[in-house]
């Protein structure tokens, strides 16, 4: 078997890359370790920058997003029992769109199936070979049967634990990481959101976030200890704790109910450099992780795919290697800016167990400065709606 580009991973980044390349007449195959139902069952965030929205539209997967996505002009940040609004549209002229990552994945799967491009689900024991040559190979097994395909390029879109980054020799890969001393306990509930926009809460009991997936489905988060387990958190306990962290007006609007999903996610910042080895390119979570505070995970994956798809299209259309040669450097420049912003949001809004009195005073001063400075609000807004690419 042979194709032009093998894409490992059928999350949003792999599917988006596959569709952009297909639209440009480039042959691809996507290999996914899990089943289609498993991929669609993963609950992820869904705040999209305008750049990500434009790419999804370019891929031909934006019809449902246009009808069901919720356009937000800003966010609110609560501190000291008071809420302060950051008006993205007034400060930058841009907005964000709330549309669940699961829905993005579903839409991209649908357009790929409609065009007949191949995806192999439950592809096990995937391995990548000869990436330093002009003819890499990828091997896998399916239902006990071995397969091998030759290609021009391999795109590793298989997440933090995938095989693609592990293909890099240890002495050729540099990693940078910070693990935060807390997690997010998230609950999904079929109740209307408490607000038309996201509310971020800095509270002495810990961070909280009021978010949504639609006008009838809400997502709430609480900062929790890393050693806690979901089983320790009944729905009643979750709602009681959330109410303690919200101001009285928001608390009065909160509609509670039985959770339809509940999970604890640890927070980490992680970057791997470089994002290229020969003809293997990393994208998305395979190369970087951000804490969810700045809503950058899916959006960073989208910017990686913008750079990588343009580079590959340039290679096939004009035999230019310029985009491929600069891919890692170009992507990493934007990644580190998003890492900085996500780190800053996490530092500003969470309660750190090791914080001294000095640290807490600095956090208070940081937020007070933000609420009283248009320049500071503009900097937050520019980063939240997404830097250009």
Q: Which residues are catalytic?
A: 72, 200, 292, 296, 384
Pair 119, 29: CB distance under 8 Å: yes
DSSP 2: B
CA–CA separation, 157 and 150 (whole Å): 18
CA–CA separation, 106 and 17 (whole Å): 15
- Residue 340 burial class via C-beta count within 10 angstroms: exposed 0-12, middle 13-18, buried 19 and up: middle
Q: How far apart are the first and last CA of the chain?
A: 35
Which residue has 């609000």 as its token pair?
Answer: 377
CA–CA separation, 256 and 259 (whole Å): 9
- Residue 182 burial class via C-beta count within 10 angstroms: exposed 0-12, middle 13-18, buried 19 and up: buried
CA–CA separation, 43 and 216 (whole Å): 16
Sheet with 124-129: strands ordered across: 124-129, 137-142, 145-150
Residue 380, phi then psi, degrees to nearest 5: -60, -45
CA–CA separation, 265 and 10 (whole Å): 21
Phi-psi region of 130 (alpha: psi -120 to 50; beta: other; left: phi over 0): left
DSSP string computed for 345-373: HHHHHSPPTT--HHHHHHHHHHHHHHHH-
């Amino acid at each position: 078997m042979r194709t032009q580009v093998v894409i490992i991973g059928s999350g949003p980044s792999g599917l988006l890359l596959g569709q952009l390349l297909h639209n440009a007449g480039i042959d691809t195959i996507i290999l996914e370790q899990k089943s289609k139902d498993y991929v669609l069952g993963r609950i992820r965030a869904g705040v999209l920058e305008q750049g990500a929205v434009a790419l999804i539209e370019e891929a031909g997967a934006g019809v449902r997003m246009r009808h069901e996505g919720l356009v937000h002009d800003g966010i609110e940040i609560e501190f000291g029992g008071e809420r302060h609004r950051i008006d993205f549209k007034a400060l930058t002229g841009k907005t964000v769109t709330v549309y669940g990552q699961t829905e993005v994945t579903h839409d991209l799967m649908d357009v790929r199936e409609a065009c007949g491009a191949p995806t192999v689900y439950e592809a096990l024991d995937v391995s990548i070979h000869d990436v330093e040559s002009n003819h890499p190979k990828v091997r896998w097994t399916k239902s006990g049967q071995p397969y091998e395909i030759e290609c021009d390029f391999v795109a590793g879109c298989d997440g933090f634990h995938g095989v693609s980054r592990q293909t890099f020799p240890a002495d050729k890969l540099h990693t940078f990481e910070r693990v935060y001393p807390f997690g997010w306990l998230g609950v999904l509930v079929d109740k209307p959101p408490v607000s038309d926009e996201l509310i971020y809460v800095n509270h002495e009991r810990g961070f909280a976030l009021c978010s949504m997936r639609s006008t009838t489905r809400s997502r709430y988060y609480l900062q929790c200890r890393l050693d806690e387990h979901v089983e320790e958190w009944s729905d009643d306990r979750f709602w009681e704790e959330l109410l303690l962290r919200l101001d009285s007006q928001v608390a009065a609007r909160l509609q509670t109910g039985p959770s339809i999903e509940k999970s604890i996610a640890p927070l980490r910042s992680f970057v791997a450099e470089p994002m290229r080895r020969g003809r293997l390119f990393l994208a998305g979570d395979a190369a970087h992780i951000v804490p969810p505070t700045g809503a950058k995970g899916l959006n960073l994956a989208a910017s990686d795919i913008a750079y990588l798809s343009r580079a590959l299209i340039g290679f096939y259309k004009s035999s230019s290697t310029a985009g491929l040669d600069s891919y890692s450097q170009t992507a990493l420049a934007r990644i580190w800016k998003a890492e900085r912003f996500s780190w800053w949001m996490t530092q500003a809004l969470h309660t750190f167990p090791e914080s001294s009195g000095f640290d807490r005073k600095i956090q208070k001063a940081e937020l007070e400065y933000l609420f009283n400075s248009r320049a500071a609000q503009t900097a937050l807004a520019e980063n939240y709606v997404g830097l250009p690419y």
